[in-house]
Structure 1
Amino acid sequence: MHLHPSDSRLPTGSIHFPNGNEAAWARISVETESQDVLRALGLKPPRALILLLGGTEGLEPGLTARLRQLFGRGIACAAMDAGAVILDGGTQAGVVDLMGQGVADRGHGAALVGVVPERLVTWPGGPSPSGPQPLVPLEPHHSHFVLVESQDWGGETPTLYKLAETLAAGAPVVAVLANGGELSKQELLRAVRRGWPVVVLKNSGRLADALSSHVRQSSGPLEDPALAEIVADGDLHFFPLEGSPRELKRLLTHQLREDSILRLAWQRFALHDDNAKRQQRVFRLIQRWTVLFGFLGTLAVLLKTSLHSTGRFANGSLPDGVFRVLIVALAAAVTGLVAAASYFKSGTRWILLRAHTEALKREIYRYRCRLGNTAHPRTGRLSHERRLANRMRVISQQLFRMEPGVSALGRYRGRLPPPDAVDPRDDGFSALSPFHYIRYRLEHQLGYYRDRLNTQARRARRLQWTVIAVSALGTVLAAVGLELWVALTSALVTTLIAWINSQNAENLLTKYNQAITDLEDTRVWWSALSLEEQSSRRHFELLVSRTELVLQSELTGWVQEMKELMARLDARHEKSGRKAEPRVQH
């Protein structure tokens, strides 16, 4: 075992096994950040992740040859094709030993990372295996090891799942269970709670057989709460031990494919969301320049009139001609911007894209809650996928039917889901329990509405005080005999009021307040339920329905208000276009 320095300041090094394999290692504590571990080992987030769970003992001799075929030609090949990292327990025992051999048989084509309690394992050049407590050797075909400072089997499990979440980083994940005992059951429960699909190898012994037997016989409720939760909530896929390795590879590849329905839904959401923001920027830019050029045109006319009245220059002089050109240019700019707003319809497209983006987001969260009627408990995932696919199709058809022009969408090249679309603690892909739904959806939206409420309120106050100040300035100018410049302050007040109206601030504040109140009421209602009621699927469905209805109602009201605002702006632009030819005094 050789030690070498690391940029992450974690003890790292390499292990040289007698078979010629060299594996990198990092020694960490349970508090170490996963990102530091990956940097220390030189691991980058892969395209997919396979999590191997199962027994390190209790394998019947007759199973070993068959499992080795499935692990080598099935799991290892699937990992290579999908660009996946395999994460497991790292010791030379049971299914982990078979996984190492399977990866080695395929030419070490996939990274194999083992997470182990440091004080219970040994390696070439490491602790003596024959001490007071027998140590288990590390599996010699792994590419990386994470040595967790623990002296208990299971002490490394939290680190295993922290690494799994960081490695996945939104990429598809699948867990594979073969055999397994009590520790494997607790590890499997963690995978189920994260919503990761699980492939169970039937007839491989112990835990895998218990799950298969209960699902097949449907023999009533289970007394073991962990097993009951796995059966009730797990996305379990059973594969027969006598099945073809090629079929196992196909099953795993299907689970790890990058075109999974949830990833496609986030891709479409990101595409519409990015284009909605782009259309919003164009719309606001046109509005701002229209207001600015209109104000500058008024200022130029007043300056020209003032200079004529004071005899500074006569009609036909060079300064007079410059002002004429400037006034005509500003009027032409306003006319051009009005025409651009009418032609490109960026405001209308922004509203439609935003509405359909939020509709997609609602369906994504419903899917992640795994709610709704399904044909069969074991085919529930397929049914949920079809429902989400159907909803995506309907939403897109509505969008392009209402505004064909939005079909020319720019590409989105960022991460999935977009960072500002989800709670920072949410990966966007894991299944949601009631607790996580409240944290990642309800409370996240509450925070959004509160931030928007404060921002809009401050902006509205600033604009109102500006209107008051400009109005007061107009009064002062009139009092000192500068009546001509009072017209400028009047034009500025009119412009500011028009801008305030275009922001629709008063209605937005009302709707944000109503949405905040309704969401808080929903959270209070949920908190008042008993623990038994909160564990009810019916109450979970009601929580999701009430929350999504509040969000949908707020969005529907916003869309209606914005459509009416667009109509008023179009009417004002049309009127401005008819009056764009300036009347210049001579």
Structure 2
Amino acid sequence: MPSNFKVNFANGAVAHAIEVSAVDDLLIAFTEMGLQEKRPVLVVVGGASLISDADYARLQKLFVEVLAPLAKNLGCYVVDGGTDAGVMKLMGTAREQNGSGFPLIGVSPVGLVSLPDAVNPPSGSTQLEPHHTHFFFVSGNNWGDESPWLANIASLLAGDHPSVTVLINGGAIALVDATESTKVHRPIVAIAGSGRLADEIANAALHPDWARREEVTLLFEQGQIHSFDLAKSNAKLENILRQKLSGEKS
């Protein structure tokens, strides 16, 4: 039976963490972590690489002005990869700037992350983002091993409540994450203008007659794919996500 432990960060924050190796243990893990309540779930996947300074600044505003406040106002769980990089770092920082107010849950392969007080961290391991409130360390030693876990954890946390995946930038692992989202019938909103995979998917959504990779075609065959242009008003994205997470109309 999994048992939770505390992760103490240098900034004084304390997160709950648990290691799980079997899907059947997840409901027990939720109880151990105090996550029994079902809520709407916002999943954030992707990255923040090969992007201009101007677009990165727009991304920061998107997290601070849209994603974090919306999660706080709707009482959502937010689920991501939990490491101190890319969109996960942006999400953690935005949560802190908005006065917390919602559980921020990271899902990471146990063999690729190091705890803040680790004496001999695994070679090549990645630090955890210090504003997350909960971490699930799942079986795996490769990036992408966590992807089906992340998708399933988000679905179980939501229960009968809605959930949505926001895809920002991203590469090969983000494609795995997006594919896993479609497998559990979670709609995806790809942020056009954030670069790489998100742009590729957004362009495919806007131009269905254009040639596309087989993997991207499968995404459209399996799931609900939507796009939003980063250059547009953040209020429009807030409205789109609010409708998907609450059914509320503007």
TM-score by length of 1: 0.41
1:200 aligns with 2:190: yes
Identify, as 1 or 2, the structure richer in strand.
2
Contact persistence 1:49–1:164 (CA under 8 A): yes
Equivalent AA in structure 1 for residue 235 of structure 2? R
Is the helix fraction higher in 1 or 2? 1
For the residue of structure 1 that corresponds to 2:201, the secondary structure is: helix
- Select which of 138, 143, 146 maps to 1:153: 143
CA contact (8 A) 2:190 2:228 kept: yes
Which of 1 and 2 has greater Rg? 1
Alignment partners' CA distance in 2, 1:94 and 1:59: 11
Distance in 2 (alpha carbons) for counterparts of 1:36 and 1:258:
30
Percent of aligned pairs with the same amino acid: 31
**2: CA distance, partners of 1:97 / 1:206:** 18
In structure 2, what is the Cα distance between the partners aligned to 1:28 and 1:171? 24
Name whichever of 28-37 and 174-183 sits farther off.
28-37
Matching of residue 172 in structure 1 with residue 162 in structure 2? yes
Shift of the alpha carbon at 1:227? 0.7
Equivalence for 2:107? 115
Equivalent residue runs for 1:367-446 within 5 Å: none
The amino acid that maps onto 1:169 is G
**Structure with larger RCO (C-alpha < 8 A, sep 6+):** 2
Structure 2 vs 1, CA of residues 59 and 92 (structure 1 numbering), >3 Å: closer, same or farther? farther
Q: CA deviation at 1:22?
A: 1.1
**In the TM superposition, what whole-angstrom CA distance separates every residue of 1:18-41 from its partner, at most 9, and x where no partner exists?**
222111000111444220121121
Q: CA deviation at 1:138?
A: 0.3
Q: Match for 1:88: what amino acid?
A: D
Partner of 1:235: 224
Matched, 1:15 2:4: no
Distance (whole Å) between structure 1 residues aligned to residue 97 and residue 221 of structure 2? 37
Relative to structure 1, is the Cα distance of residues 173 and 152 closer, same or farther in structure 2, using a 3 angstrom cutoff? same
Kindly tell me: are residues 246 and 21 of structure 1, through their superposed partners in 2, closer, same or farther at Cα, counting changes over 3 Å? farther
Q: Which residue of 2 aligns with 1:92?
A: 84
Cα distance change, pair 150–216 in 1 and its aligned pair in 2 (3 A): same
User: Take 2:53 and 2:26, find their aligned partners in 1: how far apart are those partners?
Assistant: 37
- Correspondent of 1:79 among 26, 51, 71: 71
* 1:116 Cα offset (Å): 0.4
Aligned-pair CA distance for 1:242: 2.0
Checking the alignment, whether the CA contact within 8 Å between 2:39 and 2:159 is kept in structure 1 is no
Q: CA deviation at 1:61?
A: 3.7
Can you give the 5+ residue segments of structure 2 that lack an aligned partner in the other structure?
none
- The letter for the 1-side match of 2:146 is E
Count of residues in Structure 1 that have an aligned counterpart in Structure 2: 249
Structure 1: distance between partners of 2:220 and 2:53: 28
1:254 to 2:246 alignment: no
Gaps of at least 5 residues in structure 1 are 1-8, 261-586
Provide the rounded CA distance (Å) in 1 between the counterparts of 2:14 and 2:26: 22
**Residue 28 in 1 paired to residue 20 in 2?**
yes
Change over 3 Å in CA distance of 1:221–1:66 after alignment to 2: closer
CA-CA distance at 1:69 after TM superposition = 0.8
Residue 126 of structure 1, CA deviation? 2.1
Distance change (3 Å), C-alpha of 1:259 and 1:68? closer
Query: In the superposition, relative to structure 1, how do residues 75 and 123 fare at CA in structure 2: closer, same or farther (>3 Å)?
Result: same
Q: CA offsets per residue over residues 279-334 of structure 1, 9 Å max, x none?
A: xxxxxxxxxxxxxxxxxxxxxxxxxxxxxxxxxxxxxxxxxxxxxxxxxxxxxxxx
Question: Is this contact kept in 2: 1:25–1:147, CA < 8 A?
Answer: yes
> Which residue of the partner structure matches residue 3 of structure 1?
none
Residues 178 and 200, structure 1, Cα contact 8 Å, conserved in 2: yes
State whether structure 2 residue 196 is matched by structure 1 residue 213. Answer: no
Once residues 216 and 74 of structure 1 are traced to their aligned partners in structure 2, the CA distance between those partners, rounded to angstroms, is: 23
